[in-house]
């Protein structure tokens, strides 16, 4: 290998080269411009943000609230987040110093990784899990350590496997339950076992709780509410999914003062603040959005049942997802790889799904299909998949 100098260097950093392009985006690009295509690929609600929330943003604009806000977010929004976490999870956070408002959970993940990691620090993540986790860790100089999860164990992260993956360089566990892409939730006893592991090895827990309110027949506690965990957990959440506000880009992190101060320090240079009208809308969502969540969850639950039973009746056995809005059917019986299946399905039947491998090696043999799309579209896509299977 020739020595790298300023004369022969490539234009991008090693960190950028080390991350993979998102396996979800690739399918968006293929889908663009395809007439009559159905997308089960995008992980976002198909509802327009409820009117009273939009109205709050319009009001803020009418009243000229168009300036930068305080770096950590408006005091009103931080106060409302603190009230929400207290009401829903029984967690008490000081809005002054223990909460930072971010540009979605996406920015919160990035900030958290950069605030806690030194080069070479390892972070344990479930495999499969959300596409951004390994990239955020790598970009922060850390090393993602995927721990396999299995359908036979309901895609729960096994605390014993986590303990085995710990080395002297392990700094944190990044949890994302209810999970994207599997829809898995973690039962309380497994979370409690994970808490013991985290405590024993003095690990920080980054808990992505963006789907926490989208659950079916179960409730999921915040990881920070487990005994002894508040001091070592950073809760990452936001309004994107539960209130159908993906485009508003408002998220937050709540956690130990030192970490939140570190995150805010980065955020004040890189983002300054989250959008001011988005923050006004988020206050209204957190204050008065409970009925909206309930109505949407009821509807998603119906779509979930149609999609999951649809896959099962096509012979693609489908794990019963209890959270988020994804079905994760197995396609192992077809003999095709996830990538082949997804590419051929899109080409032959114009149905876009995401290959499970976009979320880690353990995703091989599975597809991620989002059911936050209309019932007629779900039914039509199942018809097309049936036709596709009959030709294999
Ligand atoms: N975390 C998970 C598990 C997600 O699935 C997503 C989006 O799909 C995000 C975070 C990003 O959320 P936000 O829109 O708040 O940036």
11-49 residue pLDDT tens: 998 889 988 877 777 777 777 778 899 999 888 788 999
Going by alpha carbons, the residue nearest to atom 12 of ligand 1 is 105
Q: Is 377 exposed, middle or buried (0-12, 13-18, 19+ CB in 10 A)?
A: middle
Which of 44, 134, 112, 161 is closest to 360 using CA atoms? Answer: 134
- CB 155 less than 6 A from any atom of ligand 1: no
Candidate of 106, 125, 275 to mutate for ligand 1, largest count of ligand atoms within 8 Å of Cβ: 106
Express each pLDDT in 64-73 by its tens digit. Answer: 999 999 999 9
Strand ranges in the chain using DSSP code E only, listed in sequence order: 38-39, 99-102, 122-127, 143-148, 170-175, 204-208, 233-238, 251-254, 326-327, 351-352, 354-355, 367-370
Q: What is the pLDDT of residue 31?
A: 78
CA-based nearest residue to 36, from 377, 391, 383? 377
What is the model's pLDDT at position 24? 74
Average of pLDDT values for 354-380?
Answer: 96
Nearest-CA residue for ligand 1 atom 5 is 180
Q: Which pLDDT belongs to residue 42? A: 80
Q: What pLDDT is recorded for position 27?
A: 72
Residues 6 or more apart in contact with residue 289 via CB below 8 angstroms: 50, 53, 242, 243
Regarding the beta carbon of 130 and ligand 1, being less than 6 Å apart is answered: yes
- Span from the CA of 238 to the centroid of ligand 1 (angstroms): 9
Which of the pair, 20 or 96, is modelled with greater confidence? 96
> What's the confidence (pLDDT) of residue 122?
98
Per-chain mean pLDDT for the chain: 95
What CA–CA distance (Å, rounded) separates 96 from 69? 14
Going by pLDDT thresholds of 50, 70 and 90, the confidence category of residue 315 is very high
User: Which pLDDT does position 244 carry in this prediction?
Assistant: 96
- Cβ neighbour number for residue 375 with a 10 Å cutoff: 13
Tell me, what's the pLDDT at 99? Answer: 98
Q: Which CATH class is domain 14-48+291-390?
A: alpha beta
Would you say the CB of residue 104 lies under 6 angstroms from ligand 1?
yes
User: Tens of pLDDT along 136-174?
Assistant: 999 999 999 999 999 999 999 999 999 999 999 999 999
Domain ranges of the chain: 14-48+291-390, 51-288
Average pLDDT of the segment spanning 315-342: 97
pLDDT of 256 above 90: yes
Ligand 1 pocket mutation pick from 240, 247, 370 by most atoms within 8 angstroms of CB: 240
- Tell me yes or no: is domain 51-288 CATH 2.60.120.10: no
Mean pLDDT value of segment 268-274:
96
Q: Is the pLDDT of residue 277 over 90?
A: yes
Once rounded to an integer, what is the mean pLDDT over residues 247-256? 98
Check pocket membership of 323 for ligand 1, CB cut-off 6 A.
Answer: no
**Atom in ligand 1 nearest the alpha carbon of residue 246:** 14
Q: What is the pLDDT of residue 1?
A: 65
Contacts of 314 (CB under 8 A, 6+ apart): 382, 385, 386, 389
Task: Answer positive or negative: Cα dihedral of 85, 193, 142, 126.
Answer: negative
The response to whether residue 95 sits with its C-beta less than 6 Å from ligand 1 reads no
């Amino acid at each position: 290998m020739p020595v790298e100098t300023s004369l022969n260097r490539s234009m991008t950093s090693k960190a950028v080269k080390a991350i993979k392009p998102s396996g979800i985006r690739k399918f968006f690009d293929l889908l663009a411009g395809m007439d009559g295509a159905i997308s089960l690929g995008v992980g976002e609600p198909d509802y327009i943000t409820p009117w009273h929330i939009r109205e709050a943003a319009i009001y803020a604009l009418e009243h000229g609230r168009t300036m930068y806000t305080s770096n950590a977010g408006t005091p009103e929004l931080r106060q409302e987040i603190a009230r929400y976490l207290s009401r829903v999870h029984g967690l008490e956070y000081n809005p002054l110093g223990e909460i930072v408002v971010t540009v979605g959970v996406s920015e919160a993940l990035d900030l958290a990784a950069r605030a806690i990691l030194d080069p070479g620090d390892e972070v344990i993540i479930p495999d499969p899990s959300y596409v951004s986790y390994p990239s955020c860790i790598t970009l922060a100089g850390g090393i993602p350590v995927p721990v396999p999860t299995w359908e036979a164990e309901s895609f729960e992260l096994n605390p014993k496997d986590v303990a085995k993956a710990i080395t002297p360089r392990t700094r944190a566990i990044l949890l994302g339950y209810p999970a994207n892409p599997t829809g898995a939730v973690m039962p309380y006893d497994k979370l409690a076992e994970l808490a013991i592991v985290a405590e024993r090895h003095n690990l920080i827990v980054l808990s992505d709780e963006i789907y926490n309110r989208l659950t079916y027949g179960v409730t999921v506690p915040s990881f920070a509410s487990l005994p002894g965990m508040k001091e070592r957990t950073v809760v990452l959440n936001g309004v994107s999914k539960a209130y159908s506000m993906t485009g508003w880009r408002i998220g937050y992190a709540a956690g130990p003062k030192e970490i939140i101060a570190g995150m805010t320090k980065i955020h004040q240079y890189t983002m300054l603040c989250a959008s001011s009208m988005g923050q006004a809308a988020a206050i209204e969502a957190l204050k008065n959005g409970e009925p909206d969540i309930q109505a949407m969850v009821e509807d998603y639950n119906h779509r979930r049942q149609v999609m999951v039973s649809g896959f099962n009746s096509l012979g693609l056995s489908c794990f019963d997802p209890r959270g988020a809005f994804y079905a994760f059917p197995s396609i192992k019986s077809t003999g095709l790889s996830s990538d082949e299946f997804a590419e051929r399905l899109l080409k032959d039947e114009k149905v876009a799904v995401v290959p499970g491998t976009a979320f880690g090696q353990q995703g091989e043999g599975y597809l991620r299909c989002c059911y936050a799309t209309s019932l007629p579209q779900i039914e039509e896509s199942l018809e097309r998949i049936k036709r596709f299977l009959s030709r294999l």
